[in-house]
Copies of this chain bind each other. A is one copy, B any other.
Amino acid sequence: MTYSVEFLPHNIKVEVDDNESLIRAAMEAGVHINASCGGSGVCGKCRVMIEKGSVEGGISEHLSQKDQEKGYRLACLSEVASDIVVRVPVESQIDTGRLNVAPTSRHTAKEMYADVNELREGGLFIPPVEKIYLELEPASADNNQADVERIINHLRLNHDEHRLTMNLNLIQKIPEIIREGDFKVTATIIRPVRKDGKNRIVNIEPFDTSHRNFAIAVDIGTTTIYGQALDLHTGEVLGQHGEFNSQISYGEDVISRIIFAEKGDGLEVLHQKVIGNINTIIRKIIKKAGIGKHEVTTITLAGNSTMTQLLLKINPAFIRRDPYVPTSIMYPPFPAYEIGIDLADHTTALIYPGVSSYVGGDIIAGIMASGMYRQEKLTLYMDIGTNAEIAIGHKDWMVCTAASAGPAFEGGGVKFGMRATKGAIEDFAINPETYEPMIITVGNKKAKGICGSGLITLAAKLLETGVIDSRGKFDRSLDTDRIRKTDDIWEYVLVYKENTQIDRDIAITEPDLDNLIRAKGAMYSAALTLLEEIGLGVKDIEKIILAGGFGSYVDLASAITIGLLPELDPEKVTYLGNGSLLGCKINSLTNALRRDVMKVVNMMTNFELASTPSYMDHYMSALFLPHTELNYFPKVKKRLERLRK
């Protein structure tokens, strides 16, 4: 349900969801309200008057009984509960003049889902591992087939199943199982990738357990590992959990982990760490989901090439050494317990293939999840993170590349950088006359720091209001105390310490902005170089798919303003969220994907930016906000001119 919110005296109206906080509505409308505490109701500065309609909450000790009766509320504590008209009082609003030239309204990308019904309708909702209930003819003098042949022949004759095999460790258990179930058993079968491959019976259980078939999907990020438990009958996610990758204590990035793995038992240590994380996640999600370990038939895992090799305990040394080769692109299915994953011995592990040392299974999983390999439209796929991973293409061809963007997008290398957890500044506006900020934090808590998406918005707003120039340097001439020099570094104070959780002023510094510019520059120039290598340009892109941890929160206009994304209609941008996890999920649901993924990997051309001479030029040109070549960003150019005139 949505409501309209009209801000006075601006006369700006926006549509918001039921229960949206008023301060977020204002942010979206481009209406500036003083707000220093991140929306936590502490500073009391965001007083507004509800002139029509009603809100929930908004009452605080900062408001006298009389003010409350007049209709004053704190915007950050008010949730929209009807169509309303809100007046922003002068003391909060400061000045409406310039705000009416409001920049773009907030626009985050549409989210993409794995549509189970679509799979079902397409006849593709056939998981890689199926369970089939069998009522076997009991052994008798007239039919004294061996146990295993009884099962195989029954499947052949009654279920049209062929090319069946069974491993020794299962055969060892058959005599007891088949009799425990009185010749009524459920067979678990893993499908081949090639249609003429073998169907492997990996488990036989007594009685009918065919309705209990579950999968686990795991994205192994360098920083965070996420897992989902899936019901393979409904396609539903039954439980989800994320853990920080505890390899972090041995190195923040893949290179430092590779170096660690090369020494002594480093490989074993890192392998055990990630297995430990995965086992914790499994324990939590299957508990949430109410399923038993033995009911999990597959676990699909994706990670970048280094994460994949550490998972599989394969020395990653040569990933970081010229000529940068991973050990393998494809990995065969194997019993998950073999690498220490705490699941039954019949649970099959499926590993997403990669393309190269720097374009790993995680990006392939995302590309598979995006469906771009099935579409006509030319799509730009960008996985935004410490590694910039880019793919361009459609159903007939695909190219990809990867560049190191640095950790800025994940809050690294930023003085008050943090992950997008409670208290992280995620949205930001700035009064163009007073240069006073308006901030919103995750969870509406007092601020603790700045997350990646917040950083992008921050940079865009500072640029739009002229607080920084196109090189990311503060305008020292501006009349505000918030721009200052501390320890020889110029910064802009976002929140004074009394409104923070950390008892220090939270500021954004020039080095922070430098890191962000390098990160966005790497991302954008990688995309541009890749386009150029295939003889295309930004104008040819019909669709952008964003993946990565903060993709769902990033304000597209801001991302374009700083030159992270090419200037394209935001409607063409789709957000995939954790593409790697989504890819693992879809792989759990449809075996068709395993066939397609081989096609994608085989048709994918990998470009090594290091050996593409134009990349460095593009990168250098991209180290400006939005870019040296402003004509790449005509709308941003126009808006900046208008805002600053």
Residues of A near any B CB (own CB < 8 A):
139-141, 143-150, 165-169, 171-172, 174-176, 179, 196-198, 312-315, 317-318, 322-332, 334, 338-339, 356-357, 608, 611
Q: Which of B176, B327, B356 contacts A147 (CB 8 A)?
A: B327
- Assuming the contacts A146-B329, A168-B312, asked whether A141 and B175 have C-beta atoms less than 8 A apart, the reply is no
- Assuming the contacts A168-B338, A172-B312, A172-B314, asked whether A140 and B329 have C-beta atoms less than 8 A apart, the reply is no
| A142 vs chain B, min Cβ distance (A) | 8
Tell me whether B315 and A176 are in contact (CB under 8 A): yes
Residues in B neighbouring A356, C-beta threshold 8 A: 144, 146
Q: Provide the bound-state CA to CA distance between A174 and B166, in Å.
A: 27
Q: Provide the bound-state CA to CA distance between A139 and B198, in Å.
A: 33
**Could you write out 25 A-B pairs with CB less than 8 Å apart?**
A139-B318, A139-B323, A140-B323, A141-B322, A141-B323, A143-B323, A144-B608, A146-B327, A146-B356, A147-B325, A147-B326, A148-B328, A148-B329, A150-B325, A165-B332, A167-B332, A168-B312, A168-B331, A168-B332, A168-B334, A172-B312, A175-B314, A175-B327, A176-B315, A179-B318
| A604 vs chain B, min Cβ distance (A) | 13
Tell me whether B140 and A314 are in contact (CB under 8 A): no
Q: Provide the bound-state CA to CA distance between A165 and B198, in Å.
A: 13
| A600 vs chain B, min Cβ distance (A) | 15
Q: Provide the bound-state CA to CA distance between A197 and B141, in Å.
A: 35
Q: Provide the bound-state CA to CA distance between A171 and B171, in Å.
A: 26
Q: Provide the bound-state CA to CA distance between A326 and B148, in Å.
A: 9
Q: Give 6 A-B pairs besides A149-B328, A149-B330, A168-B331 with Cβ atoms closer than 8 angstroms.
A: A143-B323, A146-B356, A148-B328, A148-B329, A167-B334, A175-B318
For A176, the closest partner residue in chain B by CB is B315
Q: Provide the bound-state CA to CA distance between A326 and B150, in Å.
A: 11
Q: Provide the bound-state CA to CA distance between A357 and B139, in Å.
A: 13
Q: Which of B171, B323, B325 contacts A331 (CB 8 A)?
A: B171
| A332 vs chain B, min Cβ distance (A) | 6
Residues in B neighbouring A197, C-beta threshold 8 A: 198
Q: Which of B166, B169, B329, B357 contacts A149 (CB 8 A)?
A: B329
With a 10 A CB-CB cut-off, give which of A175, A312, A315 has the most chain B CB atoms. A175
For A194, the closest partner residue in chain B by CB is B163
| A177 vs chain B, min Cβ distance (A) | 11
Residues in B neighbouring A334, C-beta threshold 8 A: 167-168
For A149, the closest partner residue in chain B by CB is B329
Residues in B neighbouring A148, C-beta threshold 8 A: 327-330
Tell me whether A328 and B144 are in contact (CB under 8 A): no
Tell me whether B146 and A325 are in contact (CB under 8 A): yes
Q: Provide the bound-state CA to CA distance between A165 and B322, in Å.
A: 27
| A574 vs chain B, min Cβ distance (A) | 31
Q: Which of B169, B175, B317, B608 contacts A175 (CB 8 A)?
A: B317
Q: Provide the bound-state CA to CA distance between A186 and B317, in Å.
A: 22
Q: Provide the bound-state CA to CA distance between A503 and B89, in Å.
A: 125
Residues in B neighbouring A325, C-beta threshold 8 A: 139, 144-147, 150
Q: Provide the bound-state CA to CA distance between A197 and B200, in Å.
A: 13
- Assuming the contacts A168-B334, A312-B168, A323-B140, asked whether A328 and B611 have C-beta atoms less than 8 A apart, the reply is no
Tell me whether A141 and B611 are in contact (CB under 8 A): yes
Q: Provide the bound-state CA to CA distance between A338 and B338, in Å.
A: 13
| A326 vs chain B, min Cβ distance (A) | 5
With a 10 A CB-CB cut-off, give which of A147, A317, A318, A328 has the most chain B CB atoms. A328
